Amino acid sequence: MSLQKRRIAFVVSFWSLGGAPQVAAKIAAALEARGHEVEVLYLYRRSEHPLPPGPCALVIDRDVSVSLGYLLIPWLLFRRLRRFRPDTVISFSPLAHVLGQVVAVLSGVRGRVAAHRVVCSEYKPVLRFLDRVLGTIGAYTGIAAVSNAVEASVAGYPLAYRRKVRVIHNGVSRIPSPMGRAQARAAFNLPAEEGIVLAVGRLADQKNYPLLIDAVSRLERTHLVVAGSGQRKAALESQAAALGMSDRLHLLGHLSKEALSDLFRACDLFALASTFEGQSNALLEAMAEGMPIVASDIPEQIETLRGPDGRDAGILLPVNDPNAWTDAIRRTLGDPGLRQCLSDAARERARHFTFDRMIDGFEQVAGQE
């Protein structure tokens, strides 16, 4: 798809290793490769990790969550937008919607798109209220929802808001690992023959890791590997110790995309127990790898895993029933035929969520004013 070349600024609430900050950088890089002039502006820093390669910058280079830095951000962002003079500002995350799009209006930017990455009910009440007002009165010229479930979360909003919403699903672009199972397990110092369940994502309450630890703790010769960093690490380690499975819980921290691809090859089953999502990139990557999936039965996961024929490309389970998770993991690890069936279904379903399709969607909304 080729549209008129645009100057596009992405505004993201903060830089971290979370999904939205990284996805914004990937989308920006893809649009730049299509000939658009692109800039990614993170309002402040929440991680000491370096910024992604490409046209990425911090509006203020520190964590301002408990400082007066918030007062500087609008003025500094205004100066950057006036200097870059974008045709369109696309905001990721609630603070970026509110601060970023108000500043975009004041800067004279004609295209202003709020990209919702999680269900809006999870926004802080003040930001949710302001987002609703701004989208209704015209501060946004377009709204992108990452899933039908996210679109449904604004069903009670005024028509002036809802008529601007367009669903743009996430898409994956990945290079498969050259490693085999044994080599990948050795690379991560994982046992050669025991069952391994993989979870990927920040160590945050949203990801519901205590349920997975509880479920796996009841299974012999079964390990839980988690790729992700966050503030809940000590609590998860304490839970594992109390359940006698410290030697079967492997918290690997944040991994590069290449390392994560290798880790997929080492594991037998992918588990995502989140209590809410927008649309999980980790889930899509696991599906594209052809991993058997067990996932929470929240609307966002159902939408991703359920095909148009009504069949599920994974096992969907309640978010609060560790017994059901234990049974499903035991059954899947113990049945090679079931694992192959789930693997084939996941890989087939993943073909619906392509990276190019996602970029097409953002290129189109960036061209609307």
3 Cβ contact list (under 8 Å, min separation 6):
363, 364, 367
> With bands split at pLDDT 50, 70 and 90, how would you rate the model's confidence at 1?
very low
Residue 263, both tokens: 């880790």
Residue 245, both tokens: 């499975």
Q: How far apart are CA 363 and CA 4, in angstroms?
A: 10
Per-residue pLDDT of 165-195, as tens digits, reads 999 999 988 888 999 999 999 999 999 999 9
Q: Are 272 and 280 in contact (CB under 8 A)?
A: yes
Category of 336 on φ-ψ map: left (φ > 0), alpha (ψ -120 to 50) or beta: alpha
Which residue type is seen at 280? S
**Phi first, then psi: what are they for 331, rounded to 5°?**
-65, -40
- 153 three-state secondary structure: coil
Tokens 């990209």, located at residue: 115
Q: Which domains does the chain have, with CATH numbers?
A: 7-171+354-366 (3.40.50.2000), 181-350 (3.40.50.2000)
Per-residue pLDDT of 271-323, as tens digits, reads 999 999 999 999 999 999 999 999 999 999 999 999 999 999 999 999 999 99
- pLDDT, average across residues 329-346: 97
Per-residue pLDDT of 208-228, as tens digits, reads 999 999 999 999 999 999 999
Q: Are 292 and 343 in contact (CB under 8 A)?
A: yes
Per-residue pLDDT of 45-54, as tens digits, reads 988 889 988 8
Tell whether the model's pLDDT for residue 65 goes beyond 90. Answer: no
Q: How far apart are CA 57 and CA 55, in angstroms?
A: 7
Tell whether the model's pLDDT for residue 104 goes beyond 70. Answer: yes
Per-residue pLDDT of 84-103, as tens digits, reads 999 999 999 999 999 999 99
Tell whether the model's pLDDT for residue 347 goes beyond 60. Answer: yes
Q: Which of 278, 276, 284 lies closest to 145, judged by CA?
A: 278
Q: What is the pLDDT of residue 71?
A: 81
Q: How far apart are CA 325 and CA 224, in angstroms?
A: 13
**CA-based torsion, 150, 315, 281, 360: positive or negative:** negative
Tell whether the model's pLDDT for residue 234 goes beyond 50. Answer: yes
For the entire predicted model, the pTM comes to: 0.91
Helices (H) and strands (E) in the chain, counts: 16, 13
Q: What is the pLDDT of residue 85?
A: 97
Tell whether the model's pLDDT for residue 70 goes beyond 90. Answer: no
Count of C-beta atoms within a 10 Å radius of residue 309: 5
Q: Are 53 and 71 in contact (CB under 8 A)?
A: no
Q: How far apart are CA 114 and CA 27, in angstroms?
A: 14
Q: How far apart are CA 154 and CA 140, in angstroms?
A: 15
Q: Which of 345, 351, 253, 349 lies closest to 303, judged by CA?
A: 349
